[in-house]
Amino acid sequence: MSEKKFKRSAHVVLTSHSKQLYKSSLKINWGAKTPKERGPVIGSLTDIKERNAIGTHSGSYSVYRALSIAQGSYKTDHRPDLHNTESPVKIGPYASWFDPDKMVSIDPWGLDVQLNFKELYDQGYDIRPTISVTQAHLQLPEIHDAIRAGRLKVDGKIVKENMDIKVTKVALEPVWYLPGIAKRLGVEEGELRKILFQETGGMFPELVTRPDLKVMLPPIGSTTVYIFGNPADLADSKVELTCRVHDECNGSDVFGSDICTCRPYLIYGIEDAARTAQRGGVGIIAYYRKEGRALGEVTKFLVYNARKRQEGGDSAATYFRRTECVAGVEDARFQELMPDILQFFGITKIHNLHSMSNMKYNAIVKSGIEVVNRIQIPAELIPADAQVEIEAKKAAGYFTPGEVKKGDALEKVKGRPIDE
């Protein structure tokens, strides 16, 4: 790679005028069939003349990078050494990579940029990855229980002798193609840009002053994917595929809080994904950072308190109403962008979808992916205090082949008081 050196100016330069257009800023042709035709997304700050995107890399962690720079512990001219960082498995390209409408919230060519854009990278362009792939072992006590119970077997390949599960892990940072995002949401691009500018407190003036910049690196969390079996099989519609699309819930997923079904459903999905891989199929768990229905954990805890302190106590009959009272909306996740992650892997058919959410199911099907079976969480895995959540969701129309409580029966489903 070129030893080209850059020194960042000490004065602030606002990219809000047409004179900020530079010849060295490469054009992005979203949906092109080769990385060379498409062009790299450059959000790095080592040379502002190369930038062709709004925002910068690492999502919300860019703020921590700024703090490190302010403290003097991070060099502003640092450029990642990407030697030996390439993916250990081949992923893509797939037909979905070449369709500008299939993926609008991630950049498929953000994987192995030092290879996809080798010529430009060797010339010294500071092109940084937005996708990375590695391999790992999962150690989960519930999986150990499943093995002891005979639901999973040690095969030495998917489930190791020490009861670890071997997986391929993929991290994907958001890269938004704004015209595609607007089209997906059914709004005008100009309106979307204006609202993004306003609702982030004016954080990115280029949203309204630089309509020529069509790509944004938003300061939000990434998505992590865990693959069980051969990643290449995800794109083969003849190979059985088990999938769980899961939105982050720190309280349950990490700490085991029993007010919701998140961890039990997640673990059940992992177990079934591993079991599918063992019988010759492939499994995928996609983990999205949308804490508290994308309303945040502070809002989530306020809702918990409101639910449990209301007259009559925590009830399935008022489950969604209390969220809307506090947050202004029942659910801010929408899900229109969620299938992009599945499209990255060339998925066209899901045989077993672990999700009761109609929003997720409808978004996946609308994206062109066939869903054969939908699988709800087994009743025996639902914590006692989470009965309020699950019965409220079923009453609201979430997928279930079982009984749906209404009226007095729904009203009688109660959670614990706040002080117990």
- pLDDT tens readout for residues 71-99: 888 888 889 999 999 999 999 999 999 99
Question: If you average pLDDT over residues 121-133, what whole number do you get?
Answer: 96
Is there a domain that residue 42 lies in?
yes
Give residue-wise pLDDT tens across range 319-369.
888 888 888 877 777 799 999 999 999 999 999 999 999 999 999 999 999
Give residue-wise pLDDT tens across range 28-56.
999 999 999 999 999 999 988 999 999 99
Q: CA 37 to CA 197: how far, in whole Å?
A: 30
The pLDDT of residue 298 is: 92
Is there a domain that residue 282 lies in?
no
The pLDDT of residue 188 is: 97
The pLDDT of residue 11 is: 55
Q: Which two tokens stand for residue 8?
A: 């960042």
Is there a domain that residue 158 lies in?
no
Which DSSP helix (H) or strand (E) runs through 393?
helix 387-395
- The CB density around residue 366, as the number of other CB atoms within 10 Å, is 12
Q: CA 374 to CA 84: how far, in whole Å?
A: 40
The catalytic position among 38, 275, 322, 333 is 333
**pLDDT band at 8, cuts 50/70/90?**
low
**Domain tally for the chain?**
1
Is there a domain that residue 56 lies in?
yes
Check if 322 is active-site. Answer: no
The catalytic position among 247, 314, 331, 340 is 331
- Residue spans of beta strands (DSSP E) within 54-174: 54-55, 131-138, 165-172
Is there a domain that residue 121 lies in?
yes
Q: CA 81 to CA 405: how far, in whole Å?
A: 57
Phi, psi dihedral angles at 357 (to 5 degrees) = -80, 125
Question: If you average pLDDT over residues 292-307, what whole number do you get?
Answer: 88
Is there a domain that residue 238 lies in?
no
19 CB burial (10 A radius; 0-12, 13-18, 19+): exposed
Q: Which of 284, 296, 297, 276 is nearest to 338 (CA)?
A: 284
CB-based contact 226:285 (threshold 8 Å): yes
Is there a domain that residue 333 lies in?
no
Q: CA 249 to CA 217: how far, in whole Å?
A: 24
Query: Percent of the chain scored above 70 by pLDDT?
Result: 95
Question: Given a cut of 70, is residue 12 above it in pLDDT?
Answer: no
Question: If you average pLDDT over residues 130-146, what whole number do you get?
Answer: 97
Query: Percent of the chain scored above 90 by pLDDT?
Result: 79
ω before 100 within 30° of 0 (cis)? no
CB-based contact 343:92 (threshold 8 Å): no
Q: Which two tokens stand for residue 219?
A: 């300061």
The pLDDT of residue 360 is: 95
Is there a domain that residue 185 lies in?
yes
The 8-class DSSP code of residue 242 comes to E
Give residue-wise pLDDT tens across range 99-108.
999 999 999 9
Q: Residue 166 in 3-state DSSP?
A: strand
Give residue-wise pLDDT tens across range 156-206.
999 999 999 999 999 999 999 999 999 999 999 999 999 999 999 999 999
Q: Residue 226 in 3-state DSSP?
A: strand
Question: Given a cut of 60, is residue 10 above it in pLDDT?
Answer: no
Enclosing domain of residue 182: 14-125+176-217
Query: From the centroid of its chain, how far is CA 155?
Result: 30
Question: Given a cut of 80, is residue 237 above it in pLDDT?
Answer: yes
Check if 331 is active-site. Answer: yes
Q: CA 362 to CA 378: how far, in whole Å?
A: 22
Q: Which of 129, 223, 216, 218 is nearest to 177 (CA)?
A: 216
